[in-house]
Chain A
Amino acid sequence: GENVEQHPSTLSVQEGDSAVIKCTYSDSASNYFPWYKQELGKRPQLIIDIRSNVGEKKDQRIAVTLNKTAKHFSLHITETQPEDSAVYFCAASITGGGADGLTFGKGTHLIIQP
């Protein structure tokens, strides 16, 4: 089955700086890569996703890049703000039929220092 590795487990950055979280996946058939943000005591919420036919996607201060050859994908947050503090999870799945579940990374605790 799919295996997703996520690094780092904890990331502390100064407010206003950029943050990068990296994930690798094992199954070359995976074609859907979402990122979820989970604030303390709350449910995970999708913040951005990318499909394997696209190399990069941006949404305001967040972007995701995908390297299919290397089986890497990364989340980039620019101009970080206190409300970006949360646990971020990457995930991978194969879509196109059935009810395939997501395989998640172990999470990155992002801390924004004032």
Chain B
Amino acid sequence: DVKVTQSSRYLVKRTGEKVFLECVQDMDHENMFWYRQDPGLGLRLIYFSYDVKMKEKGDIPEGYSVSREKKERFSLILESASTNQTSMYLCASRAPPGRAKNIQYFGAGTRLSVL
């Protein structure tokens, strides 16, 4: 079974703090993704990475950055947290297209509150 692990289930931070959300997968997947989930808005793609040190902006990258130094780990960074970044953050990983099924596997999510 694919395992995608997010380091924290709940996080409370103050406005202006630098925040790191960590995600680790154990299936040697090249592709990893960060989404945020808000009521009534569904899941929206923030950033994705197709390999180590590679990153691409998703639909809502403003206010976020990412780091992929190792294949199994994909970090989401909030350089200066703001209250409108209070949300549920979901990490996902996937084998590249053509290898096995094109399925994204999700982590359990990190609920971030910025006060």
Size band of the B side of the interface?
20 to 34
Q: Is B30 an interface residue (CB 8 A)?
A: yes
B50 and A89 form a contact (CB under 8 A): no
Q: With A43-B90, A44-B90, A96-B97 in contact, do A103 and B59 touch (Cβ < 8 Å)? A: yes
Q: How far is the CA of A32 from the CA of B102 in the complex (A)?
A: 9
User: Which residue of A is nearest B96, CB measured?
Assistant: A99
B108 and A42 form a contact (CB under 8 A): yes
Q: Is B83 an interface residue (CB 8 A)?
A: no
Q: Is B11 an interface residue (CB 8 A)?
A: no
Which residues from chain A contact B45 at a C-beta distance below 8 Å? 101-103
B24 CB, nearest partner CB in chain A, Å = 15
Majority SS of interface residues in chain A?
loop
B106 and A45 form a contact (CB under 8 A): yes
Q: How far is the CA of A3 from the CA of B79 in the complex (A)?
A: 28
The CB with the most chain B CB atoms within 10 A, among A6, A34, A106, is that of A106
User: Which residue of A is nearest B55, CB measured?
Assistant: A99
Size band of the A side of the interface?
20 to 34
B44 and A104 form a contact (CB under 8 A): yes
CB interface residues, B 29-58, toward A, < 8 Å: 30-33, 35, 40-45, 48-50, 56, 58
Q: Identify the A interface with B (CB < 8 A).
A: 1, 6, 9, 32, 34, 36, 42-46, 49, 89, 95-107
- Can you offer 24 A-B residue contacts whose CB atoms are under 8 A? A6-B42, A32-B102, A34-B103, A34-B104, A36-B106, A42-B108, A43-B109, A44-B106, A45-B106, A46-B103, A89-B42, A89-B43, A95-B102, A96-B97, A97-B97, A98-B50, A98-B97, A99-B32, A101-B33, A101-B58, A102-B33, A102-B104, A103-B45, A106-B40
